[in-house]
Every structure is written in structure tokens, then in C-alpha cells.
Structure 1
Amino acid sequence: MGSEKEQQAIQKKLQEEVNKLRAAQKEYQMAATARQQLDAQMNENTIVKDELNLLEPDCKVYKMLGPVLVPQDLVEAKQTVSKRIEYIGGELKRQEKLIEDIEKKQEVHRERLTKLQQDFQKLALVTPGKS
């Protein structure tokens, strides 16, 4: 009857590992969504930078502050957009690293699940009857 307790222990470990994998998958989804948002922001800011580079130095540029358009110096606007692109680039790298780490964590959980399932099946074969 010790085998029945072993089976229960393995089942408990299996459930814990499944829960950990689900949590990692949820974390991955959140990180992937954040990365998509950063990608969109990067694309938008790159387009703005390209448009600003097409302007003549004496052109008027406005930025939106709440519901109001406020005049802004072209050089200042270019610097602001460049800094924003630099910041978003850093955030993208950080997010990529996070996604990579989560993928590794998921792989570890999958390997543990596979091993636990194999252990459970071996134990079930050794102890016929209740499973």
C-alpha cells in the first residue's frame, strides 16, 4: 500500500507543476502583450522621426498637451523623439530578456511534468489495481 501513497504524492507534485506552468504561461502572455505595445510605440515614434527629418529648419512644429496644440522648436522635437526611441529600445531589450527567461522557465516546468508523468506511469504499472 506504500505505492498508493507514492502515487498520491506524485499526483500532488504533478498538479503543483501544472499550476506553475500555467502561471508561467500567463506571465508569458503579459510579457508578449507588453512587447507588442512597445513595438507599436517604436514604429509610431520612428515614423514621427522620419517625418520630422523631412521638415525644413524654419517649419513650425506643434505638440499636443492635453486638448491644446503648443508650438515646439523643431530641434527640441527631434531630440525628444530620439530620446523616446532610445528609451523604448531599452525597454524592448528588457522585455525580450524577460520573455527569454520565461520561455526557459516554461521548458523546465514541461520537463518536470514529463518526468513526473513517466514516474506515475511506471508506478501505476508496478501497482495494478487502484490508479
Structure 2
Amino acid sequence: MANPQQALQRMTEEFTTLQKELSSVVEARQTLESQLQENRSVQKEFSGLDDDANIFKLIGPVLVKQDKSEAIMAVGGRLEFIEAEITRTEEKIKNIQEKQEKKKIEIMQLQNMVVQQQQQQAQVAA
């Protein structure tokens, strides 16, 4: 390794990038969780409605009447999609955390190596 200080700086920057990426993915996970809870709430409300109840869907600035079975299917589809996205996002979080841990170990090993080299140089100079 030519310059351990430069390598250490590069590794630290990579670690910081991973931290930012993890933060972004965790935020996306929280948004998905919020959407999941909202859609489950809507699904629960639908289950308490009569079959002939009026259901309206907001499309832009307009409320459009929607059939109950169609609305239930739409919410069910959204729930499936959101749950799949949460699973995918959790896997991404796990992978980033693993990369972070590996990078952290590499940084610590390099720091130890630099300290040892400095100690050896100090002993030689003395």
C-alpha cells in the first residue's frame, strides 16, 4: 500500500457514503411503513361497509364513484406491492449494514497498521 493515510481517507469516505445511503434507505422504509398502515386502515374501513355503500376515489381534484369490490381489490393490490417493497428495502438495509461493518473493520485494521508503523519509525529514530 503506497500511502496508508490516503487509503484510510478513501475508506472513511466510502464508509460515510454507506452511512448516507443507509439513512436514505431507512427513510424510504419508514415511508413504506406509513403507507402500509394507511392502506390497512382503509382496508379495515372497507370491511365495515355495506355492499351497496358509496365509495369515492380521489383522482386529481375530482371524486369518482367506485365499486366496493373494485376498491377492495385496488387496496389489496397496493398492500401486496407495499409489502414486497418493504421486504426488498429491508434486504437492502441488511446488505448496506453488512458492507458498513466490513468497511469499519478494514478501517480499524488500517489504523492499527498505521499506528504500528509510526511506533516502529519512532523506535528506529530513537
Instruction: Indicate the structure whose relative CO is greater, using CA pairs within 8 Å and at least 6 residues apart.
Output: 1
Task: Spell out structure 1 runs of 4+ moving beyond 3 A.
Answer: none
- Pick one of 15, 19, 24 that aligns with 1:25: 19
1:12 counterpart = 2:6:
yes
CA distance in 2, matches of 1:12, 1:110: 16
| Pairs within 5 Å for 1:61-72 | 61-72=55-66
1:106 counterpart = 2:100:
yes
Cα displacement (A) at 1:128: 1.5
CA distance in 2, matches of 1:40, 1:107: 28
For structure 1, the residue ranges without an aligned partner over 5 or more in a row are 1-5
Match of 2:32 in 1: 38
What TM-score results when the alignment is normalised by the length of structure 1? Answer: 0.91
Cα deviation code 1:61-82 (max 9, x no counterpart)? 0000111111000000000000
For structure 2, the residue ranges without an aligned partner over 5 or more in a row are none
Cα deviation code 1:36-85 (max 9, x no counterpart)? 10000000000000001110101110000111111000000000000000
Match of 2:81 in 1: 87
- Pick one of 96, 107, 111 that aligns with 1:117: 111
1:55 counterpart = 2:49:
yes
Match of 1:3 in 2: none
Cα displacement (A) at 1:17: 0.4
For the residue of structure 2 that corresponds to 1:71, the secondary structure is strand
Amino-acid identity (%) = 33
What TM-score results when the alignment is normalised by the length of structure 2? Answer: 0.95
Letter in 2 for 1:117: Q
